[in-house]
Structure 1
Amino acid sequence: MKRDDEMTYEETRRNIIREYRSKNLLAQQKAEEKRRELDEKFPDIARIDDALSETGLKILRAALDGKDGLDEKIAKLRKDNETLLSVRASLLASKGYPADYDDVHYDCGLCCDRGYTEDGNMCCCLKKALTDVGLEYSGVKKLVEKQNFDTFDLSFYSGSSRETMEAVLRICRAYTDSFDGKMHNLLFIGKTGLGKTHLSSAIAKEVIAKGYEVVYESAQNIFSDFEKEKFSRYDAVIPDTSRYFNCDLLIIDDLGTEMPSQFTVACLYNLLNARLVSEKSMIISTNVGKNELLERYSERITSRLLGEFGICVFEGNDIRSQKLRR
């Protein structure tokens, strides 16, 4: 059974957005509480606050009296307010308080903790909060710190391999730039240590930053989760495999390293077919070549892998070994 305290990715996102709706209000409430505290402790500050609060009413009265001399009246009110604020700041300082003690303090000055700027666009602070959640749920949070587009080093490739990998990198960058939730699948084929995991992580990071749900997992762990779901006792805590079907982008790493069985083949077919039918994107990396894919998996699977995926063949020499020699 699934743990009751486990929240889904979407539930967590909704909670963060709800928290932002209340953050702005809480900041204002805290400032108001401090203002009341000062007014109760210090009558001279309270009198200044009362005078400042009447500014709007004074402007309205001046406007109702007619336009003659209105600008001068407003200028005088502004100057009077500046004087009152200066006196207030001096009083606060004399009593050991900073001048901005009861100002509204927002965590983010760009959106005033609303999550959205005045032009209606999502603020960078909310984007970061949602991206952090996406990275946490995706399984690539630690990977993307070192494996992203900025750290992908083409100097490890030479000759024709360099040209091939430059093309692969362009494909991966274009994939993230154009990702819009519609189905677009990639199959990474190549030996160990050629950058398949690195570019998978890089894509995951960029797609998550665009607000989409990404799940990144090894084929072995995915099949293990399906096995636990099917064969565990009723009272056991089982993984939530629905995320493999529902996420916007599923990245399956190291297909072909799992112990093959009728069960794993059936799981893979069901997962591939379900996501293709629902038109959800996938990226699959494998150390297994095309011919071995045909030998290892059924024709129903290989026809989908080779027919419904854009194929990127990784070439070169093991980067891990090269790094050790540098």
Structure 2
Amino acid sequence: MSSHRVDWILTTRRQAAEEAARQVEEKLLQKDASYREASRELKQTGAKLALARVGGADTKELEMRMRKWEKIKAERLRKNGLTEADLLPRYTCPVCRDTGRKPGGGDCDCKRQLALEQLFEEDPSAKMLKEETFATFDLSLFRDTKQGEEPESPRSMMRTMRREALAFTENFAREGDRNWLLYGPVGSGKSFLCHAIARDMMDKGIPVVYQTAYGMQELFQSVRFAQAKDRAEREGALKRLMEADLLVIDDLGTETVHSVSVAHFFELLNDRLLEKKSTIISTNLEPPEIERIYSPRIFSRLFGQYEMYNIFGDDLRLRV
């Protein structure tokens, strides 16, 4: 997605907030003559005070006049059920005031998150991320009885997983380097959990990248074979995978695995572990299959550094 789209959204937000604040004061100026007089006197006295200070003149009388009119203005605001804050723009991001730039320089987190949200909108997975949330998490879909060697019913297991997932998102600021691997049969609810976590984190303003394993593998291949004019864009997408506060990789094992993609995948996992960036991975593969398909090195990283969750139960896609 072009950065121009993000800049346009930020500009629109900023202008809307400033126009809304302007309209609040404009209505007050029109209906309250005393407020109108106080505002006019403050502007005029403020200008005189500034000139007096520059010229080194005595400012005592002007300062007294400023305090007088400030008091009157505050009283008129209270009479109208308003405060000074009501006259200020209510920016979507109070840190950068919807400029996209931090006060000390550099891109604001809100701009980075907005760019990610726009990427979600352009991704086919966006619909699932909007629909499969904690609010739509329906435990009644899961079987409430144990079968075979199951340690508990799928419903009981998913009730626990929902609680764990909510705790993950709520405590992310304090425990931001946790990593999960969700494994189990097709249709058991792993992707739903991934979607719900990603959506909740985005709603909290935390930079998230959601990527299917197939999309990730395609990106790895495209970086290798990209023409010069496309290389910067592809490498930028790969950089986002590396730098996102949370990376969600869904359906590991459904992609065609190549030596190039395995090497990139190991580098991605290893770099994120070193940088203490959280990653959540879902897969239909059992642990031995992961080691066989992706290499012992990747298996070691996953099963040594990740919290493992076996998601079991019936294929929900056959019930919905």
**TM-score, length basis structure 1:** 0.65
Post-superposition offset of 1:136: 3.1
Post-superposition offset of 1:182: 2.1
Q: Identify the residue that residue 143 of structure 1 maps to in structure 2.
A: 128
* Conserved 8 A contact 2:21-2:90: no
Cα separation, 2, equivalents of 1:128 and 1:270: 28
Q: Identify the residue that residue 113 of structure 1 maps to in structure 2.
A: 90
Post-superposition offset of 1:178: 0.8
Post-superposition offset of 1:299: 1.2
Aligned residue for 1:243, secondary structure, equals: helix
Residue 169 of structure 2 corresponds to residue 176 of structure 1: yes
Q: Identify the residue that residue 6 of structure 1 maps to in structure 2.
A: 2
Indicate the structure (1 or 2) with the bigger Cα radius of gyration: 1
Alignment-mate amino acid for residue 170 of structure 1 = R
Alignment-mate amino acid for residue 157 of structure 1 = R
Post-superposition offset of 1:54: 3.0
Q: Cα gap change, 1:130/1:219 in structure 2, threshold over 3 Å: closer, same or farther?
A: closer
Post-superposition offset of 1:322: 1.4
Q: Identify the residue that residue 104 of structure 1 maps to in structure 2.
A: none
Post-superposition offset of 1:150: 1.9
Aligned residue for 2:281, secondary structure, equals: strand
Q: Cα gap change, 1:110/1:168 in structure 2, threshold over 3 Å: closer, same or farther?
A: farther
Q: Cα gap change, 1:263/1:17 in structure 2, threshold over 3 Å: closer, same or farther?
A: same
Any stretches of 5+ residues in structure 2 without a counterpart? 46-63, 65-71, 80-85, 98-108, 146-151
Instruction: Report 1:1-326 matches (<5 A).
Output: 6-7=2-3, 12=6, 20-27=13-20, 53-54=36-37, 112-115=89-92, 134-138=116-120, 139=123, 140-155=125-140, 156-159=142-145, 160=152, 161-180=154-173, 182-236=176-230, 238-239=233-234, 240-323=237-320
Post-superposition offset of 1:166: 2.1
Post-superposition offset of 1:172: 1.1
Cα separation, 1, equivalents of 2:270 and 2:197: 23
Aligned residue for 1:235, secondary structure, equals: helix
RMSD: 4.3
Cα separation, 2, equivalents of 1:110 and 1:157: 55
Alignment-mate amino acid for residue 234 of structure 1 = A
Any stretches of 5+ residues in structure 1 without a counterpart? 37-44, 65-73, 83-108
* Conserved 8 A contact 2:21-2:89: no
Cα separation, 2, equivalents of 1:51 and 1:193: 67
Post-superposition offset of 1:221: 1.1
Q: Cα gap change, 1:56/1:265 in structure 2, threshold over 3 Å: closer, same or farther?
A: closer
Q: Cα gap change, 1:259/1:143 in structure 2, threshold over 3 Å: closer, same or farther?
A: same
* Conserved 8 A contact 1:213-1:247: yes
Alignment-mate amino acid for residue 158 of structure 1 = D
Cα separation, 2, equivalents of 1:236 and 1:24: 37
Post-superposition offset of 1:244: 0.6
Post-superposition offset of 1:207: 0.9
Aligned residue for 1:311, secondary structure, equals: strand
Aligned length: 260
Cα separation, 1, equivalents of 2:199 and 2:127: 11
CA deviations on 1:195-252 (whole Å, 9 max, x unpaired) are 1111101001111112111111111111111211111222346532111101111111
Q: Cα gap change, 1:184/1:235 in structure 2, threshold over 3 Å: closer, same or farther?
A: same
